Amino acid sequence: MKIDLQTTPFKAEKKGDLKRLRRQGKIPAVLYGHKEKTRNIYIDMKEFKKILDRLQQETVTVNLKLEKKNYLCVIKTIQHDPTTGELLHIDFQHIHKKERIRTAVPIHAIGEAPGVKKGGILDQHLHEIVVRCLPDEMPSHIDVDISQLELGQSIHLKDIALPNVEFELNPETTVVSVLVPRAVEVAPQAEVPEEVKVEGEEGVEEGVEEKEKEKERKEEAKESEKTEPKEK
């Protein structure tokens, strides 16, 4: 998608000019490309935030309007304050319609995979892909239809047909797949062999055996007293 954006030349002449510019709702930026002289510019922050919203979903080319001229550009760098998130600076690269450009394009999975309905897990490996192509042939985003994806199946880059667009990754790279969940196996509890005794068990058993023998001796003594003849 191409978006028009008005910009104004800017030159920081003294310390604090950039901070004052930002307080006025403007963003410092540079325009460069094709061995041309780098130009310092600024753009309206509210207007650029509208582009940021689109960049979340698609790739955008910008028709930068500067001093009654138009410059077809791609956004190369966006700098934010790491603490506040405030927009600090933007780099625009001037491109030509007959020159192949390299840029990242978002990937959208569309449809509903039958494999997911059967209990599978949708795993999107790539959410964007770097491509090379002419500006007029650059896709704003890439739709990947997953409506035929069954359990264990995948879609690779080689399955995506985009004429005159080159991917900078191996064609075998997986884009999205439906994973088959593995059943959780519970290991059976190990049985203790009969010959293995708990520590201290041997001494306990010997004590029990000794008590049993003592009991038997007492019972035998009683029986002997009953059977022996009494003296007159």
Answer with the one of 95, 114, 129 that is the final residue of a domain: 95
Strands 61-66 and 2-6 turn out to be parallel
Q: Are residues 52 and 82 in the same domain?
A: yes
3-class state of residue 108 by DSSP? strand
Q: Are residues 9 and 90 in the same domain?
A: yes
CATH of the domain at 107: 2.170.120.20
The answer to whether the CB of 30 falls within 8 A of the CB of 40 is yes
170: left (phi over 0), alpha (psi -120 to 50) or beta: beta
Residue 192, pLDDT above cutoff 80 = no
- DSSP string covering 61-74: EEEEEETTEEEEEE
By mean pLDDT, which of 24-38, 78-92, 159-173, 175-189 is the weakest? Answer: 175-189
Average pLDDT, stretch 44-73? 87
Give the range of the structural domain holding residue 125, as residue numbers without chain letter: 103-179
Answer with the one of 153, 179, 205 that is the final residue of a domain: 179
Average pLDDT, stretch 69-78? 91
CATH of the domain at 90: 2.40.240.10
Report the DSSP beta bridge partners of residue 132: 102, 166
pLDDT-derived band at 25 (thresholds 50, 70, 90) equals very high
Q: Are residues 44 and 70 in the same domain?
A: yes
Task: Pick the more confident residue, 195 or 177.
Answer: 177
The answer to whether the CB of 6 falls within 8 A of the CB of 67 is no
3-state secondary structure 7-32: CEECCCCCCCHHHHHHHCCEEEEEEE
pLDDT-derived band at 2 (thresholds 50, 70, 90) equals confident
Q: 194-203: per-residue pLDDT in tens?
A: 554 444 445 5
The pLDDT > 90 percentage for the chain reads 50
For the chain, what is the largest distance between any 2 Cα atoms, rounded to a whole number of angstroms? 149
pLDDT at 229: 54
Q: Are residues 29 and 46 in the same domain?
A: yes
3-class state of residue 42 by DSSP? strand
- Residue 210 belongs to a domain: no
What is the Cα–Cα distance from 28 to 16, expressed in whole angstroms? 13
Q: 155-174: per-residue pLDDT in tens?
A: 999 999 998 999 999 999 99
- Residue 219 belongs to a domain: no
Average pLDDT of the residues of the chain = 83
Residue 108, pLDDT above cutoff 60 = yes
The answer to whether the CB of 155 falls within 8 A of the CB of 146 is yes
- Residue 65 belongs to a domain: yes
pLDDT at 227: 52
pLDDT at 157: 96
Answer with the one of 95, 127, 142 that is the final residue of a domain: 95
pLDDT-derived band at 152 (thresholds 50, 70, 90) equals very high
Average pLDDT, stretch 87-116? 92
Burial of 176 (0-12, 13-18, 19+ CB in 10 A): buried
